[in-house]
Amino acid sequence: MKEPQFSFLQETPAAEPADAALHFQAKLTFETDAWDVKTDMERGRSDFIVIDTRSALDFAARRIAGAINLPHRLIDAETTAHLPKDKLMVTYCWGPGCNASTKGTLKLASLGFRVKELIGGLEYWIREGGPLEGTIESKASELCDTAQVVMSGNG
């Protein structure tokens, strides 16, 4: 079979290796992933704060365990005055299709905070098996407890 002359993959040529290294090094200074955050939490690291930039209602329903809620539209000097500037702020929202964390990260950086965005947000946190809190988690736990009682014949 004859190879086609045109390549969608290489329509835009790849960067030179040195340029690619600079790009990806810079990219890692702006974002982190669920595994890195989860692992540092499990190891007891306390040099960062996880911030849910979604609404208070969404935060109450389901969130990363230990996260604080600071909806991106409310981030300003007054609402962040209690946050320590010596800690890294890690923002997240629902998932890749949500830019609330990007907006929150921009505002926090503009206020002088060191920041990283959690790529994949809550969706990828859940996929990674990270601990959760919220009303959805409480209801799920109650259902599991009830099911165990029924299955044990004590219900």
The reported pLDDT for the residue numbered 7 is 87
Q: Which two tokens stand for residue 107?
A: 């505002």
| Tens digit of each residue's pLDDT (9 = 90 or more) over 118-128 | 999 999 999 99
| Tens digit of each residue's pLDDT (9 = 90 or more) over 89-99 | 999 999 999 99
The reported pLDDT for the residue numbered 144 is 44
Angstrom CA distances, 86 to 8, 30, 69, stand at 45, 17, 19
What does the pLDDT average to over 42-62?
97
Domain spans in the chain, listed from the N-terminal domain onward: 29-152
Q: What is the pTM of this model?
A: 0.84
Mean pLDDT across the chain = 90
pLDDT class for 153, splitting at 50, 70, 90?
low
Find how far residue 42's CA is from the centre of its chain: 16
Write the CB contacts of 145 (distance below 8 Å, at least 6 apart in sequence): none
Enter the CATH code of domain 29-152: 3.40.250.10
The reported pLDDT for the residue numbered 147 is 39
| Tens digit of each residue's pLDDT (9 = 90 or more) over 66-116 | 999 999 999 999 999 999 999 999 999 999 999 999 999 999 999 999 999
Residue 40 has pLDDT above 80, yes or no: yes
The reported pLDDT for the residue numbered 154 is 52
- φ/ψ region of 124 (left if φ > 0, alpha if ψ in -120 to 50, else beta) reads alpha
